[in-house]
Chains A and B, each alone.
Chain A
Amino acid sequence: MATQPANPAITPELIAKHGLSQEEYAKILTILGREPSFEELGVFSVMWSEHCSYKNSRPELRKFPTTGPSVLVKAGEENAGVIDIGDGWAVAFKIESHNHPSAVEPFQGAATGVGGIIRDIFTMGARPVFLMDSLRFGSIKGESEQARTNRRLFAGVVAGIAHYGNCIGLPTIAGEVYFDDSYNGNPLVNAFCLGILRHEQIARGAAKGVGNPVFYVGAETGRDGLAGAAFASRELTEESKADRPAVQVGDPFREKLLLEACLELLATDAVAGIQDMGAAGLTCSTCETASRGGTGVEIDIELVPQRAKGQTPYEVLLSESQERMLVIVNKGQEDVVKRIFEKWDLPYAEIGTVTDDGMMRVLNGSEVVVNVPARALADDGPLYYREAAPFTPPPPLDLSTVPQFPPLETLPILLAHPSIASKRWVWRQYDHMVRTGTAVLPGSDAAVFIVREANKILAASTDCNAIYCRLDPNQGARIAVAEAARNLASSGAVPIGVTDNLNFGNPHKPENFHQLRAAVEGISEGCRAFDVPVTGGNVSLYNESPAGAIDPTPTISMVGRIDDVAHITTQSFKEAGDILFLLGKIGDELGGSHYLLAIHGRKEGAPPALDFAEERKTHQVLLSLIHKGFVRSAHDCAEGGLAVTLAECCFGNLLGASVKIASTDRPDVLLFNETQGRIVISVKPCHVVSVEAALAQSGIPFQQLGTVTQQPVLGITTGDSTYQWSVTELNNHFESAIPSLMEG
């Protein structure tokens, strides 16, 4: 065996370097009743990082509604929550961030983010069926050094997601991409995966059965991704580039084999428990399975398959090498593991056993290097009740300070704003059709996927307007939930669950902690209003660059169910002569709008108001109209307001629209306001009377807007002015914006 360097002495500097506070170190001394070994210090450091322990956010996360009749596995119990979808089938889904790795190494950072979330899903016994992504970058416009960096990050992240998702054969069917300078130096990469399983297939990450062998399966352990969880729980600085070894390297081919082998293994009765090695790798998976099982686990580092020679126990324990799993096998069934992993040409090794003493014990041959109560590590970490700064909601926007910009010029500018513009450049790089279930392609309100083996139709959307969240985090979070639900309703789906990714700045700063708390409360209120549980998610704090914290970004991914293929609805107008209705008010709120940002360069005012009761009524009446077969297209009004929505509805089939709005408001307010709760639908002329009657009966505000036209012209008349745009030209602005920035 290669000689290993001697471990350093435990000094205050070493403790600080591990991101542990004096109080935390004192707690370690109490738990152990002695000074920790170097390995133990590392193990505590990663397990008590925010990424693994949620020590700053846990008290807040308890506010989420997490229960309901359809919840089979609750948030926080396992790697992902599981929701019943009927007929013995269930879905497991979750979103997770890989922000800091992507900032330092965008391609591998994003790729391994996708790999990690896929493992979380098949660890549950579910077959992954589709992916989504929520991405945020600084501005990609212009020739500044920063813009060039942002373009490099954007291109690298998209390529990394494509690399991993395409190779493993999972369609990336939806997502969102926003560009804003608050993400300079700290992009956000949140990856979502959904899998499907039978109720009886739910796998547990618990080390059950004292005496059962513990297997390591999958890729060999290397030095990559050393202590990535601790890295993710620090602010990014100029020196972060030196942390590049903390970024893992992904091998989607290995993961594809691991996925197939694990699902084949889980279909036998050989598995007592299974857990992926993600953040904090071997350390986290051993102490979490032991803690969940109420048992102990003893493993021997010398038995772990290793890629490099001469790795120290510290390195092996803290490595975040990808594509690895820990499997607790029912004693006597070891041969099943051997047969399946040999078939798939994957490394495997029996590295230890389940014990009854509650300890996570790590041997290096005959020497004990870690001997810690598993429960203390996994569940008894520190908990902080941080201070939240007092918050005064922003005053409403004073319209008199906003000069009117000509609407004719505004619409093309908004459609070409990278946050609003077509993301075809992005999703064309993702295989979004593999697994032959994508019924609605990316670019509509929500993606719709037919899961053939279960005969179920699922819809999913991911949303967050971080400008609203910056101005008023509670209101922004409420709106994110409402928008996700609105996108699902517009696609014909009823929401069944939410997973959230809370991206915030350093929680030690009271204003940041207020944002986190207010957003969690907003999400909780929204989920209760729509009666959907939060099934899990991820917290990413310390999203700061030298320029300051990011705009708070609580990303909401909502999953819905559609019961009949006839109910699948898309945003594109279908036929000339169809009549347009607006569900909701014409609105007049410009606070936090993209009009204000893109035209006037201002991020101010109060975000739009939101009434959950009204919102829910709107979704219900829309769904009832869809179920009756009246709705030919539906599209919600989001960034850029009604004019952008109408243009987007025209694009799919290059049709036009003739719209008349009776109002004396300023035309810019009328066309580009972002008042919530609005959906544009088109219906056949023969259904107008029935639709009007149903809308009137529902009690929501609505109005007839106009007609779909064959001629591809969008015409809007308001007061005594008429604005007309060529749909082809608008579409060119919309489609060419990102390619021209990225390809020149």
Chain B
Amino acid sequence: MPTIIRCAVIQFPGSNCDTDCKAALASFPEIEAEIVWHKDTSLEGYDLIVLPGGFSYGDYLRCGSIARFSPIMGAVRHAASTGVLVLGICNGFQILCEAGLLPGTLMRNRGLLFRCEHQHLRVENNQTPFTSNLTLGSVVNFPIAHGEGSYFADPKTLAELNANNQIILLYADAAGTVSDSVNPNGSLENIAGICSHGRNVFGLMPHPERACDALLGGTDGRAIFQSVIDTFSQGKRA
């Protein structure tokens, strides 16, 4: 009997990918997922914490800027500091940046329009708990759906991200070529996803949970969750 990985999907007011994330996670027999309300204050006993997409607090003021003050965020910070895996998808990524758990920020898309479509991504680092199941340099296809996904950081932060191999996914074409013409939102260096220095916090704008079912056009997203399972089953984590 393999270890069961306990996963919390945080529900902020305005989250709208919470049930999608839960369904994608629950499609793995090794994962037990539940929704945790943002007014809760404890995340004891969870192995993976997912901050899902949506429009937390209507994205008023600035994406993620109000959600970072939700009661649950104290527990998320504590979990992240103790090495628990934290995954922020889309609005979840924006919240992690606002909360200071990941560097940089997400700005309004270049072109100012919301964009929803399938997007190719190149894997830049497969030495993380979230990408170990992927091949370095390979191309995956996840849907994107955001109006404010243009990653920005100051030059010093960007240099540190590069030096520490914290850049995980880049916007690319089907052949893996990274260029401005395939950058959907104007992100610096085509950055689609980054991790923390300690590798246990991962934020990305694309939606792996929307690429977990062949009927919906692809299963590339499963590799992210499979990586988490591998990380635990191979004893890299307790």
Contacts and interface: CB of A to CB of B under 8 A. Distances in A.
A169 interface: yes
Interface stretch (A220-228, A436-444, A543-551): A436-444
Interface stretch (B75-83, B94-102, B174-182, B212-220): B212-220
A454 interface: no
B191 to A, nearest CB: 21
A433 interface: yes
A252 B55 contact: yes
A439 B215 CA distance: 6
A684 B185 CA distance: 41
A187 B19 CA distance: 36
Contact of B58 (A251, A428, A429): A251
Contacts of A598: none
B210 A436 contact: yes
A303 interface: no
B14 A167 contact: yes
B189 interface: no
B20 A436 contact: yes
A434 B16 contact: yes
A159 B147 CA distance: 11
B216 A167 contact: no
Contacts of A345: 13
A83 to B, nearest CB: 24
Contacts of A565: 215
B210 A433 contact: yes
Contacts of A430: 114, 116
Contacts of B16: 167-169, 256, 434
Interface string A552-581: 000000000000010000000000000000
Contact of A450 (B54, B207, B215): B215
B216 A436 contact: yes
A88 B13 CA distance: 30
A410 interface: no
A434 B114 CA distance: 14
Contacts of A251: 58
Contacts of B212: 436
Interface string A8-46: 000000000000000000000000000000000000000
A216 to B, nearest CB: 20
A678 B2 CA distance: 56
B110 to A, nearest CB: 12
Given A166-B145, A257-B13, A433-B210, A452 B23 contact: yes
A253 B60 contact: yes
Contacts, number: 84
Nearest to B209: A436
A622 to B, nearest CB: 22
A253 B116 CA distance: 20
Contacts of A343: 39
Contacts of A159: 113
What is the interface residue range for chain B against chain A? Answer: 20 to 34
A280 to B, nearest CB: 26
A430 B24 CA distance: 22
Contacts of A253: 13-14, 55, 57-60
A594 interface: no
A437 B59 contact: no
B20 A434 contact: yes
B17 interface: yes
A452 B114 CA distance: 26
A169 B115 CA distance: 14
A251 to B, nearest CB: 7
Nearest to A429: B114
B217 A441 contact: yes
B14 to A, nearest CB: 5
Interface in B7-23: 13-14, 16-17, 19-20, 23
A480 B143 CA distance: 33
Interface in B29-57: 39, 53-55, 57
Contacts of B143: 433
B23 A431 contact: no
B60 A437 contact: no
B160 interface: no
B216 A166 contact: no
Interface string A421-437: 00000011111111111
Interface in A40-67: none
Nearest to B145: A431
B185 to A, nearest CB: 12
Interface in A160-212: 162, 166-169
Contacts of B20: 434-436
A257 B147 CA distance: 21
A344 interface: yes
Contacts of A431: 114, 116, 145
A450 B209 CA distance: 16
Contacts of B207: 433
A256 B14 contact: yes
A155 to B, nearest CB: 9
A436 B116 contact: no
Interface string B193-232: 0000000000000010110110111000000000000000
Contact of A433 (B59, B60, B145, B147): B145
Interface in A338-384: 343-345
Contacts of A257: 13-14
A610 to B, nearest CB: 34
A429 B215 contact: no
Contacts of B116: 166, 427-433
Interface in B121-135: none
Nearest to B184: A428
Contacts of A435: 19-20
A154 to B, nearest CB: 13
A429 B23 contact: no
Nearest to B37: A343
B55 A167 contact: yes
B81 to A, nearest CB: 29
A436 B115 contact: no
Contact of A252 (B19, B23, B58, B147): B58
A429 B55 contact: no
A162 B112 CA distance: 13
Top 6 closest A-B pairs, CB basis? Answer: A169-B16, A253-B58, A167-B55, A431-B145, A436-B20, A429-B114
24 contacts: A166-B145, A167-B14, A169-B16, A169-B17, A169-B54, A253-B14, A254-B58, A256-B13, A256-B16, A257-B13, A343-B39, A344-B13, A428-B113, A429-B114, A430-B116, A431-B145, A433-B143, A433-B210, A434-B17, A436-B23, A436-B24, A436-B209, A439-B216, A565-B215
Interface of A: 159, 162, 166-169, 251-254, 256-257, 343-345, 427-439, 441, 450, 452, 565
